[in-house]
Amino acid sequence: MRLVKWRTVGIYLLICMITFVFYVMLIILNREMILDLLYELLGKRLNVYSKGFTFFTIMPFLLLSGVIVSLLTHYLGKIEHIHFSETGIEIKTNSRYFINKSEINKVIFAEKENKVVEIDLKCKKDTYSIYNADDEFVARTKKYFQIEKEDESTFDYKSKITKKIYRIGENDK
- Out of 45-49, 91-95, 96-100, least confident range: 45-49
Helix, strand or coil for residue 164?
A: strand
**% of the chain beyond a pLDDT of 90:** 30
Q: What is the DSSP letter of 75?
A: H
Instruction: Give residues with Cβ within 8 angstroms of 100, minimum separation 6.
Output: 87, 88, 123
* CA end-to-end distance (rounded Å), the chain: 32
In this structure, the chain runs to a length of 173
d(CA 66, CA 94) in angstroms, rounded, equals 21
R_g over Cα of the chain: 23
Q: What is the rounded CA–CA span in Å between residue 36 and residue 42?
A: 10
| Tens digit of each residue's pLDDT (9 = 90 or more) over 100-159 | 999 999 999 999 998 999 999 999 888 899 988 888 989 999 999 998 888 899 999 998
- Mean pLDDT computed over 4-24: 87
Position 171 scores a pLDDT of 47
Q: Tell me the C-alpha distance between 14 and 27, whole Å.
A: 20
Q: Give the residue ranges of DSSP H helices in 3-134.
A: 6-29, 31-42, 51-76
Over the stretch 71-94, which tens digit does the pLDDT of each residue have?
887 787 888 889 999 999 999 988
- φ/ψ bin of 160: left (φ > 0), alpha (ψ from -120 to 50), beta (otherwise): left
Give this prediction's pTM: 0.71
pLDDT at 28: 86
- Whether residue 93 contacts residue 78, with contact meaning beta carbons closer than 8 Å, is answered with yes
Q: Point out the least confidently predicted range of 19-23, 27-31, 73-77, 151-155.
A: 73-77
Between 162 and 94, residue with greater pLDDT: 162
